[in-house]
Amino acid sequence: MDLEKHPQQPTARAEPDVIRASDADRDRIADILREAMAEGRLTADEHAERVDSVYRAKTVGELEPLVRDLPAPGGTPRPVGASHALAPEVPTGPADNLVAIFSSASRKGRWRVGGRTNAFSLFGSVEIDLTEALFGQRLTVINATSIFGSVDIRVPENISLRGSGTGIFGSFEVTTLESADPEAPVVVVNGYSVFGGVEAKPKRGKFIADLQARLRKHLGH
């Protein structure tokens, strides 16, 4: 084949409509929506509908229309989390979903934690107990939304727990933990509550308590 007659064409850049959305892209849009609701630009129902679309979006083109009618977020820095300090370890793949609408949902006991979990409570309660869970990755991100309900997250004492959120006529409380072990799992909790509550804090799990009891018994001898 005569290459001079068939010059190689430059590769065209993909348009936003077909560029695959990353977790950082979704988190950026979710932050804009959260601030818009806090400022009264969106109702709780509108926010919930758009956030659901955010985590279903596959491309950047699907994300941008969700904030097209909203201003860019203010000068407040984004919380250190999955897409900043721990960017190399951002979880990929589909998220686990825990939904409680006029009901309850829970995950507890000895179970394998995925990289991302979306917890949504509307006039219901969601319980996520990680005290005996198996972490298949170092970073776990939980996006918690509570509207007239509750999301309760418990973690073992030997991990790092971080997060940030907003409580509107409700509470959003994350007890920050920093493990002494640099390789310990990191759980990041983000989201908001409206007339409800989101709480994440450490709890002594049975497995950890057993280890401590054996250590005390050994030292006693």
3-state secondary structure of 131: coil
Condensed to tens digits (0 to 9), the pLDDT of residues 176-219 reads 888 888 888 889 898 999 999 999 999 864 555 555 555 666 66
**pLDDT for res 171:** 92
Of the pLDDT bands very low, low, confident and very high (cuts 50, 70, 90), residue 30 is confident
Specify the amino acid at residue 25: D
**pLDDT for res 83:** 36
Of the pLDDT bands very low, low, confident and very high (cuts 50, 70, 90), residue 129 is very high
What does pTM read for this prediction? 0.56
**pLDDT for res 68:** 87
3-state secondary structure of 165: strand
Residue 109 contacts residue 84 (beta carbons within 8 Å): no
> Between vectors from CA 195 to CA 190 and to CA 200, what angle results, nearest 5°?
35
**pLDDT for res 38:** 65
Reported residue count of the chain is 221
Residue bearing the bigger pLDDT, 88 or 221 = 221
Quote the tokens at residue 200.
């994440």
CA–CA distance, 117 with 143 (Å, rounded to integer): 6
Characterise 65 by phi-psi region: left (phi > 0), alpha (psi -120 to 50), beta (else): alpha
**pLDDT for res 77:** 38
CA–CA distance, 141 with 135 (Å, rounded to integer): 12
**pLDDT for res 86:** 34
